[in-house]
């Protein structure tokens, strides 16, 4: 139990964390990987290079410090992180390692300012925070469709855009595939050898269909950027994994899901707003909605750089043909104006339930536009590709 004195010390460190949080977490990761290089088999090196993981951890630590009197305030965010941890197979035994190096990083960055009292208080606080995560994640492990990593065989590989493949995989064992929640993702465990890579490389990919009669379906875009090689895992899956090959998956995870209370009604429209391969989880949501209530008003908005990069065109057309009340907007940004607040004002009903997925910049822009239009926050849902805590403030600057 965290003492009152330790709580006060932790809260008093908030200004320091606001100033040095990312420096502390960057130092933490360097120290931890030096001491435990085997953890590089779990953590995404790309997110490390981009700084997303460091920002996410800094945000989490700062949030915990601000809400140390009542950590239950953070439970929705803990659950979001917990889904990723469970999918990556982060276990209770990893938490003491993290705690050890986090305290070392605080001492390293703050120097003499990191008094023994501060380190002791943060050690106690970390124990409380870790217990919350471990408890939440235990429930997720217990509820998972299968434990650990299971081998699956690729039974189909379909090109659904210029730079996107949809993979269909079946378990190698007698494992019964679970009912898929639209919006969930699976996690692929690979070991590419490009660039002398020595570690496993894990990536989350959204499930593209709730129909598992032929296997689990997920989509992978070839990650590229100017003057840089293609993404390590996406290139491996695109170029080296073929029908008949085996890959390892952990069970479906994620909290990006349709509001079930609204699926059967027809007063509140469903808006699905996608950019690029962000269409993938929204495709499964569309399938679910049409299967369960094709009468509900649906607004489908899909943006891509070019027509060739517009993913799942045929699949989307077939699903929308089954719906009774549809508005469909396709934007190719090489020839059309990008989606802005005026577009959303004209085409997104103010009382709609909105689901957004795409690049971080796209989602931040769409959310900002909708908030300016006074769209209710609890009617805006999104799924970033990466550490979600790097994209939220959890009220930190509003307290």
Active site residues: 95, 137
Burial of 170 (0-12, 13-18, 19+ CB in 10 A): middle
Bridge partners of residue 270, in order along the sequence? 298, 353
The single-letter DSSP state of residue 360 is H
As a whole number of angstroms, the distance between CA 120 and CA 110 comes to 14
Rounded to 5 degrees, φ, ψ at 377 are -60, -35
Rounded to 5 degrees, φ, ψ at 86 are -65, -40
Q: Residue 79: CB partners within 8 Å, gap ≥ 6? A: 136, 255
Bridging pattern class, strands 150-161 and 246-253: antiparallel
As a whole number of angstroms, the distance between CA 385 and CA 152 comes to 23
Angle between helices 313-321 and 279-292 (to 10 degrees): 20
């Amino acid at each position: 139990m965290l003492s009152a004195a330790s709580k006060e010390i932790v809260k008093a460190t908030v200004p320091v964390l606001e100033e040095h949080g990312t420096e502390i977490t960057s130092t933490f990761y360097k120290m931890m990987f030096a001491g435990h290089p085997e953890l590089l088999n779990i953590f995404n090196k790309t997110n490390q290079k981009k700084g997303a993981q460091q920002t996410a951890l800094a945000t989490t630590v700062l949030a915990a410090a601000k809400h140390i009197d009542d950590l239950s305030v953070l439970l929705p965010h803990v659950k979001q992180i917990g889904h990723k941890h469970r999918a990556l197979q982060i276990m209770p035994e990893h938490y003491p390692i993290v705690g050890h190096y986090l305290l070392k990083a605080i001492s390293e960055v703050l120097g003499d300012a990191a008094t023994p009292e501060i380190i002791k208080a943060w050690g106690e606080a970390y124990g409380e925070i870790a217990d919350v995560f471990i408890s939440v994640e235990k429930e997720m492990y217990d509820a998972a469709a299968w434990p650990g990593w299971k081998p699956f065989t690729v039974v189909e590989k379909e090109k659904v855009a210029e730079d996107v493949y949809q993979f269909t995989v079946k378990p190698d064992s007698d494992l019964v595939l679970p009912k898929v929640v639209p919006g969930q993702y699976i996690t692929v465990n690979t070991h590419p050898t490009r660039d002398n890579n020595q570690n496993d490389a894990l990536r989350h990919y959204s499930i593209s269909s709730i129909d598992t009669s032929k296997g689990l379906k997920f989509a992978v875009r070839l990650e590229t950027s100017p003057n840089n090689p293609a993404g390590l895992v996406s290139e491996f899956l695109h170029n080296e994994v073929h029908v008949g090959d085996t890959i390892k998956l952990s069970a479906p995870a994620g909290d990006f899901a349709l509001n079930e209370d609204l699926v059967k009604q027809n007063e509140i429209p469903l808006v699905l707003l996608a950019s690029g391969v962000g269409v993938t989880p929204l495709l499964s949501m569309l399938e679910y909605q049409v299967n369960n209530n094709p009468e509900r008003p649906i607004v489908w908005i899909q943006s891509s750089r070019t027509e060739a990069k517009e993913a799942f065109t045929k699949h989307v057309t077939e699903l929308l043909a089954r719906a009774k009340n549809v508005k469909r907007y396709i934007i190719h940004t090489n020839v059309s104006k990008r989606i802005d607040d005026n577009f959303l004002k004209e085409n997104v009903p103010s009382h709609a339930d909105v689901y957004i997925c795409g690049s971080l910049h796209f989602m931040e822009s769409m959310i900002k536009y909708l908030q300016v239009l006074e769209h209710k926050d609890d009617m805006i849902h999104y799924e970033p590709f990466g550490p979600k805590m790097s994209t939220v403030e959890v009220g930190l600057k509003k307290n």
